[in-house]
Amino acid sequence: MPAKPQFRVGLVQMAMSTTPGENVDKALAKVREAARTGAEVVCLPELYRSPYFCQKEDAALFDLAEPVPGPSTEAFGRAAAEAGVAVVVPIFERRATGLYHNSAVVIDADGEIVGLYRKMHIPDDPLFYEKFYFTPGDLGFQAFDVKPGRIGTLICWDQWYPEGARLTALRGAVVLFYPTAIGWHPSEKVEHGADQHSAWQTIQRSHAIANGTYVAVVNRVGHEIPPGGGDGLEFWGSSFLADPLGVVVAEASPDREEILVGEISLPRIEDVRRNWPFLRDRRIDAYAGIDQRLLDQE
């Protein structure tokens, strides 16, 4: 089947409750709503089924994980087939006893699982204690064919690494999805909040520009206080879709649940890449060393 020249993506910006079942039901309803408004590929936020539990290290929270296939893929497999929409479902993946990943499952519009991405770059910072929970992915940077087109999935911290975007785009993805859970430390927001948000949007727009692809970023909203108390994290929403020149063509609010729907246009990609032919001129003979930690040994 030839690729469609245009298709629409739906970005589900939502807030999470502490009850997984409620989050699943809400996300299912939003996927159906996105499909009704024309979306053909819908993406949920990172770890959509729970609050962002990585604010503390607690071995009991591994109970939140689920296998693939498992509850999320079964629920969204049915919903995808019923609504005729492909879905990117980010999950806390239980791969084996003591082996967990921060993953995204790609379900096609017929309900079949067509892809699994495991977050490659794992952060670890105050209140983002992800290295405790998630083994770094071992499936590499991939692109997946769903009925509307070829898509790429990366997750949150991956967004800071041009290499991940490049490799996914070189595999033919026309849109890079970044399900995300990023927010402000309330104590930093006044002084650093605007610069942090700007850096985050800027680097993801840059992946669109460097590669001539769309970039779709899906964040959560809400101020989540962990069970033990504390300032918590104020997730900054602001989900957005950037076109292949990095133009933000749709953007959500910082604090409300929203479904953004925007168009992926292959003719637009064609036009941008013809006029800004960056892929033509890459110096693939001269990138040795990029697989080194630092070039301080020469």
Q: Let me know if 130 is a catalytic residue.
A: no
Under a CB-based contact definition with an 8 Å cutoff, are residues 121 and 156 in contact? no
Q: Is 283 in the site for a second copy (CB under 8 A)?
A: yes
> What does the alpha-carbon distance between residue 187 and residue 182 come to, in Å, rounded to a whole number?
15
| Active-site residue (options: 40, 66, 93, 156) | 156
Helix (H, G, I), strand (E, B) or coil at 158: helix
Q: Is 293 in the site for a second copy (CB under 8 A)?
A: yes
Q: Per CB under 8 A, which of residues 171..200 are in contact with a second copy?
A: 171-172, 195-196, 198-199
Q: Where does this chain touch a second copy (CB under 8 A) — which range of 28-36, 69-77, 256-264, 290-298?
A: 290-298
Q: Is 60 in the site for a second copy (CB under 8 A)?
A: no
Rg (CA), the chain: 18
Please report, for the chain, how many H helices and E strands are present, in that order. 6, 15
Min CB(80)–a second copy separation in Å = 26
Q: Let me know if 43 is a catalytic residue.
A: no
- Cβ-count burial 249-270 (b if 16+ within 10 Å, e if not): ebbbebbebbbbbbbbbeebbe
User: Exactly one of 157, 177, 178, 236 binds a second copy (CB under 8 A); which one?
Assistant: 157
**For residue 273, what is the enclosing H or E element?**
helix 266-275
| Active-site residue (options: 30, 66, 119, 130) | 119
Residues that bind a second copy (CB under 8 A): 120-123, 125, 136, 140-141, 157, 160-164, 166-167, 170-172, 195-196, 198-199, 202-203, 205-206, 209-210, 245-247, 275-279, 281-296
